[in-house]
Amino acid sequence: MLPMDNVLATKGTGVVTSVPSDSPDDFATLRDLKKKADYYGIQPEWVAGFEPVPVISTPAYGEMTAPALCEELKINSQKDRDQLAAAKDIAYKEGFYNGVMTVGEFQGQTVQEAKPRVRELLLANGDGFAYAEPEGLVMSRSGDECVVALCDQWYFDYGEAAWKKLAEECLAAMDTYGEETRHQFELSLDWLHQWACVRTYGLGSKVPWDSNYLIESLSDSTIYMSYYTVAHLLHRSLDGSTLGPLGITPADMDDAAWDYVLLGKELPSGHAKAEELVVLRRSYLYWYPVDIRSSGRDLIQNHLTFFIYIHTAMFPKSEWPRSVRANGHLMLNGEKMSKSTGNTLSLRESCDRYGADATRLTLADSGDSIEDANFEESTANAAILHLYTLMEWITEAQKALQQLDVSPDQAVKVGDIALRPASSPLTTVDKIFNAEMDALTLASGADYNKTMYRDALKSGFYEFIKSREWY
């Protein structure tokens, strides 16, 4: 047993195995111990003759990954923490993804294949036991350092090859309203594998096959939107105490009923609500699939990816989601909203301060991408003036049109509004203006269809006003 600077006595047993052939930290430590035995309080003969033993071979660094990286990054001792951290990241990735075992029972297998088999062998022979701990320091609200309790757990096997292929097919057909969102989904599908999906406390639905557990929040509600398609027919009140128009009770909606309504499975003959369930099935097919799911970008790596997976497992391709719109958080005046700093503005406060229309306009202007949107109060103030000026102009234009209806053959002027007689021929400027109105109308409609509200605000509001002023 030898000393090492960066082994934490509070982590596990405080004792680690040394693999200087593949761990830059271990190789740097072995080299330090040989050079400075007195400094580390050991006898020179304790480390004399010890050399790295090949364990893994990689295409990039051969059988001595750690020594090669220490030389490449000019690591002189275990005190070079930054270089060692970079070397460790390179070594572990190269070894895991490209390495091949050179010794032992699993010689010739890739590290990815051998790793779980080595674990199984150690457990089977009684040479090891399962151990878990947090990835980093986790402190409770009471100020205590947290550990992990090893409990029974249910998992979704999201990385299973056939299921993953379906999820990738669904994503490929979906509109993500931006390449960055699609890229994040692709990364999530690549790394996501087994996911612990239950817990023993809190609010939630019980696991159907094990009533001791609740479905954890990120795994729950992945297809809740399918319930929206029939909710209005099942109950009139939020808690379900007032039945819907079909008179269906919760007891009527057994597993067979839901399998028919959502999955189209055959309904058992003689079901008490067979006719009513046909109405539910028709409503579901009318509304499904999901045209757009709008949510936060932080949920792409878990809940929204689960949303894709579960839909592909439950429903036919014709009922897979059509699009996901991910957005960032909302900043206020370029800074993060925070109660502690006082930089907050609720929706009600904004409507009271600026009015609903100016609030909508400013929200539309705040941004549509996956990045954080920014609500600028200066924009809200300017919006009030824009809207007031526009309403003044519309009021005068309406009065002028009313006068023109009375005297269609005479020119009319009300304030800044001047109208030619209705019988006047169209001029070139009139035709250009009409064409520009048509183009802006089409552009605005396209922007709305793409949910690009800042672009729609530009084409459907500001550019219209600019074109009118030119005219």
Mean pLDDT over residues 222-231, rounded?
94
pLDDT-derived band at 312 (thresholds 50, 70, 90) equals very high
Q: Is the pLDDT of residue 322 over 90?
A: yes
What is the model's pTM?
A: 0.69
What does the alpha-carbon distance between residue 83 and residue 268 come to, in Å, rounded to a whole number? 68
CA torsion, ordered 219, 224, 226, 232, to nearest 10 deg? 170
* Full DSSP string of 57-99: EBTTTBT-HHHHHHHHTT--STT-HHHHHHHHHHHHHHHHHH-
Q: Which residues contact 43 (CB under 8 A, 6 or more apart)?
A: 37
pLDDT-derived band at 91 (thresholds 50, 70, 90) equals very high
| pLDDT recorded at residue 166 | 97
| pLDDT recorded at residue 412 | 86
Q: Which residues of 393-420 are buried (b: 16+ CB within 10 A; e: fewer)?
A: beeebeebeebbeeeeeeebebeebebe
What does the alpha-carbon distance between residue 168 and residue 162 come to, in Å, rounded to a whole number? 10
Closest CA to 16 of 24, 89, 6: 6
Closest CA to 185 of 201, 169, 197: 169
| pLDDT recorded at residue 51 | 92
Give per-residue pLDDT as tens, 104-151.
999 999 999 999 999 999 999 999 988 777 777 888 888 888 877 767
Place of tokens 């009118």: 468
Closest CA to 183 of 297, 21, 270: 297
Which helix or strand (DSSP H or E) is residue 35 part of?
helix 24-35
pLDDT-derived band at 101 (thresholds 50, 70, 90) equals very high
| pLDDT recorded at residue 435 | 96
What does the alpha-carbon distance between residue 64 and residue 20 come to, in Å, rounded to a whole number? 8
Give per-residue pLDDT as tens, 370-426.
888 999 999 999 999 999 999 999 999 999 888 888 888 888 888 888 888 888 899
Q: Sign of the C-alpha dihedral, residues 31, 33, 35, 36?
A: positive
**The pairing of beta strand 210-215 with beta strand 335-336:** unpaired
Q: Which token pair is 101?
A: 């075992």
| pLDDT recorded at residue 132 | 76
Mean pLDDT over residues 55-73, rounded?
94
Please state, for a pLDDT cut of 90, what percent of the chain lies above it. Answer: 69
Q: Which residues contact 442 (CB under 8 A, 6 or more apart)?
A: none
Q: Is the pLDDT of residue 8 over 80?
A: no
Give per-residue pLDDT as tens, 186-200.
999 999 999 999 988
Mean pLDDT over residues 242-271, rounded?
92
For the chain, the average pLDDT equals 91
